[in-house]
């Protein structure tokens, strides 16, 4: 995309972190980061040992888990060998290392899975392999953005594991208390390269593998396109939440311009979510198809097709939004005072009759949209179709 100049604010990700130690009162010694691959081997050995020497003592009805070390007085089945809960492995590429991340599924959940750039509401408890608890939400849900490039972002491992689970359902009591059920719950065992790595935290030494038990209550879909103003990135979005720009629907979006994280990504990371091939993934691209018209412009409804109107001589509700949703939507029965009906989704290139049937199709003689252009599935939506709008010659 050439119309918009993106300032790539992720350059700091390519700068190596260093730790400092004091040699004496006047001299500070800079210690370079350890090699990621070498450290992963050590971390993986430690995690495997942990899984073989610890067992699941209890999982409550609310999916609170207690893990303890196996001793001669507690000859229990290890986490590695038990069959009650699935111990899964996710392959993750980061900093030139092909990680294999272990996680336990206590409950998959019944709702929706987050994308790795969404915000989640989750309860959690984190501990080191020696059992030291370094942080906990005390079983209360807290809100976290999984996108790794925002201020205060969570560690990489969270964005890799949470999309493997689903949210639950909620209910609100008369006093406003929200309770959840049927939520996803699990335990992730993270190598330090997907945690804090060489950056020590309070109660977390450098290069520490981490164990997090968690409950995924709810999520919020986010839209991350940004502009740069006075040197700062301002999130503006393009009207399409990130998860809908994940064209293979696996729940993971990456920015391969971050060559520190992704120096030589595998083919599985080079997915078809950069429609115009400009190197900017669609979820960060203000013009997804590179046709010179912003995605937001292409999603904007024509004047006169917002709210109640007339179609084919009859009253017609075009929907209250100024923009087309991805697909048509129906009214939400939980909001009786608001009609969220949106009968049309983002259209494809129009296929109706020409404005002037005696002339060829052009920017000044376009085809008319027909109802099927808004509803047919599958369809190539206009913001991903670089042949539309037709440019003036």
- Output the pLDDT for position 22: 52
Q: Which residues make Cβ contacts (< 8 Å) with residue 258, sequence separation at least 6?
A: 10, 13, 14, 149
Q: Quick check: is 1 in a domain?
A: no
d(CA 159, CA 156): 6
Count of domains observed in the chain: 1
Where residue 37 sits, what CATH number does that domain have?
Answer: 3.10.50.40
Find all residues with CB under 8 Å of 35, minimum gap 6, and list them. none
Q: Residue 84 has what DSSP assignment?
A: S
| CB contact at 8 A, 1 and 278 | yes
Q: In angstroms, what CA-CA distances link 12 with 8, 33, 145, 261, 393?
A: 10, 15, 19, 11, 43
In a domain, 107, yes or no: yes
Could you please report the per-residue DSSP string of 269-281?
Answer: GS-S--TT-SSS-
* 275 inside domain: no
Residue among 213, 118, 108, 110 nearest 170 (CA): 110
Residues in the chain: 393
The pTM score is: 0.90
d(CA 276, CA 90): 29
Q: pLDDT tens, position by position, for the chain (393 residues)?
A: 433 333 333 333 443 444 445 556 666 677 899 999 999 999 999 999 999 999 999 999 999 999 999 998 878 999 999 999 999 999 999 999 999 999 999 999 999 999 999 999 999 999 999 999 999 999 999 999 999 998 878 999 999 999 999 999 999 988 988 999 999 999 999 999 999 999 999 999 999 999 999 999 999 999 999 999 998 889 999 999 999 999 889 999 999 999 999 999 998 888 878 999 999 999 999 999 999 999 999 999 999 999 999 988 999 999 989 999 999 999 888 888 888 899 999 999 999 999 999 999 999 999 999 999 999 999 999 999 999 999 987
CA-to-CA separations, 66 to 57, 127, 141, 212, 340, in angstroms, rounded? 5, 12, 19, 12, 44
> Does residue 67 lie within any of the structural domains?
yes
Distance from C-alpha of 224 to C-alpha of 240, rounded to nearest angstrom: 9
> What does 207-229 look like in DSSP terms, one character per residue?
T--EEEEEEEEEEE-----EEEE
**156 inside domain:** yes
Structural domain of residue 123, as residue ranges? 33-220
Cα–Cα distances (Å) from 261 to 38, 124, 227, 256, 341, in that order, read 16, 26, 23, 8, 42
114 vs 79: CA distance, rounded Å: 26
Asked if residue 328 belongs to a domain, the reply is no
Query: How is residue 78 annotated by DSSP?
Result: P
- Please check whether residue 340 lies inside any domain of the structure: no
- DSSP tag of 254: -
Burial class (CB in 10 A: 0-12, 13-18, 19+), 217: buried
**143 domain residue, yes or no:** yes
């Amino acid at each position: 995309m050439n119309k918009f100049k993106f300032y790539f604010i992720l350059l700091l990700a390519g700068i190596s972190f260093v730790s400092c130690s004091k040699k004496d009162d006047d001299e500070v010694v800079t210690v370079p980061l350890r090699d990621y691959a070498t450290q992963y081997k050590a971390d993986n050995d430690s995690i495997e040992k942990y899984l073989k020497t610890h067992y699941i003592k209890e999982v409550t009805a609310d999916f609170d888990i207690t893990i303890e070390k196996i001793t001669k007085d507690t000859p229990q089945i290890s986490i590695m060998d038990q069959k009650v809960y699935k111990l899964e492995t996710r392959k993750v590429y980061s900093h030139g290392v092909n990680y294999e991340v272990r996680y336990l599924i206590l409950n998959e959940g019944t709702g929706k899975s987050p994308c790795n750039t969404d915000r989640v509401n989750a309860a959690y408890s984190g501990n080191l392999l020696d059992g030291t608890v370094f942080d906990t939400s005390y079983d209360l849900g807290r809100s976290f953005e999984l996108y790794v490039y925002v201020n205060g972002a969570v560690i990489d491992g969270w964005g890799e594991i949470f999309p493997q689970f689903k949210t639950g359902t909620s209910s609100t009591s008369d006093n406003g208390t929200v309770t959840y059920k049927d939520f996803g719950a699990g335990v992730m065992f993270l190598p330090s390269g997907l945690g804090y790595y060489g950056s020590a935290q309070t109660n977390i030494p450098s290069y520490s593998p981490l164990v997090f038990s968690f409950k995924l209550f709810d999520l919020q879909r986010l839209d991350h396109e940004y502009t740069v103003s006075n040197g700062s990135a301002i999130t503006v979005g393009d009207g399409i939440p990130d998860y809908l720009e994940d064209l293979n629907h696996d729940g993971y979006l990456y920015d391969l311009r971050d060559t520190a994280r992704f120096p030589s990504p595998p083919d599985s990371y080079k997915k078809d979510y950069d429609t115009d091939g400009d190197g900017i993934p669609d979820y960060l691209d203000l013009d997804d198809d590179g046709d010179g018209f912003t995605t937001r412009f292409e999603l904007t409804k024509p004047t006169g097709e917002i709210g109640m109107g007339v179609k084919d001589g009859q009253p017609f509700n075009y929907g209250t939004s100024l923009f087309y949703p991805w697909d048509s939507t129906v009214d939400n029965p939980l909001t009786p005072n608001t009609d969220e009906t949106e009968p049309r989704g983002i259209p494809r290139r129009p296929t109706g009759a020409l404005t002037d049937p005696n002339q060829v199709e052009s920017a000044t003689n376009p085809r008319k949209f027909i109802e099927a252009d808004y509803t047919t599935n599958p369809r190539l939506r206009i913001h991903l179709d670089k042949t539309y709008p037709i440019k003036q010659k």
